[in-house]
Amino acid sequence: MEKLTIIKVGGKIVEDDNDLNGLLADFAQIEGYKILVHGGGSLATKIAAQLGIESRMIDGRRITDAETLKVVTMVYGGWVNKMIVARLQSLGINAIGLTGADMNVICSVKRPVQTIDYGFVGDIEKVDTYRLGMLLLQDTVPVMSPLTHDKQGNLLNTNADTIAAETAKALAQIFDVTLIYCFEKSGVLRDEADDESVIPTIDHDLYLRYKEQGVIRGGMIPKLDNAFGALAAGVKRVVITKASAIHGNKGTVIQNRFSETV
């Protein structure tokens, strides 16, 4: 199988020019096929405030009403996506910016209302392996924004970590896939205040133990849930690391088997 690397970059990196330019330069040097998935939530919150639109979050998840959907579409699918594409072109990477609606690459369903109404938020149903594969085989690098669609004419705000994981799972059928989540921290930390407290490897049992102890909490929980789901579906390697370390052996390696002495 040909190698494919999927990098998901967090919103805080996207908003810092130096960090983003460094990440894109490193991304451009990755050999083989590659995909970049980006966030941009902090910038969306900032723009929404400038427009007088209140941002509401529950457990780190954005409530996406009709006005908020317009903002995140402008920010994610517009400015952030096309800015990244333009910078990759300057590095000699033939990139194409995509939402899930473009080429119908990711279809979702609107999240059903249970205890919380998240609004126009999508849960992924299908990733079009064929169309993404064809782009890759034509030496085109997809840059994927956190927006999908429901085939009923509606765009849906969709978690970027989930888009990266579901894309990795789908493409693992035809590629040897490495999934790297990169953000401003050095990996999964035992102490959020200590960037040197990286947990080098985590298997599912250790993850459950750390979650119960409160060592792993907040936004890291859905990120790790996505990581384990990707491994279970055939993704070969999942790493959580600092944006400046995507070429190194630093960060946290997620794996199915226990490997760390605790």
CATH number of the domain residue 78 falls in? 3.40.1160.10
* Residue 260 maps to a domain: no
Model confidence pLDDT, tens digit, residues 24-36: 999 999 999 999 9
Output the pLDDT for position 218: 82
* Residue 262 maps to a domain: no
Output the pLDDT for position 25: 97
* Residue 259 maps to a domain: no
Q: Say how far apart CA 88 and CA 86 lie, in whole Å.
A: 5
- Mean pLDDT over 191-205 rounds to 91
Model confidence pLDDT, tens digit, residues 114-172: 889 999 999 999 999 999 999 999 999 999 999 999 999 999 999 999 999 999 999 99
* Residue 147 maps to a domain: yes
| Residue 78 and residue 71 in contact, taking contact as beta carbons nearer than 8 Å | no
Total structural domains within the chain: 1
Output the pLDDT for position 229: 93
Range of the domain at 16: 2-254
Crossing angle between the packed helical segments 204-213 and 220-232, to the nearest 10 degrees: 160
Q: In the Cβ-directed half-sphere of 168, how many Cα atoms lie within 13 Å?
A: 32
* Residue 14 maps to a domain: yes
* Residue 172 maps to a domain: yes
- Mean pLDDT over 208-237 rounds to 91
Q: pTM for this structure?
A: 0.93
Model confidence pLDDT, tens digit, residues 32-53: 999 999 998 889 999 999 999 9
* Residue 261 maps to a domain: no
Output the pLDDT for position 257: 55
Is the pLDDT assigned to residue 259 strictly greater than 60?
no
Model confidence pLDDT, tens digit, residues 68-121: 999 999 999 999 999 999 999 999 999 999 999 999 999 999 999 988 999 999
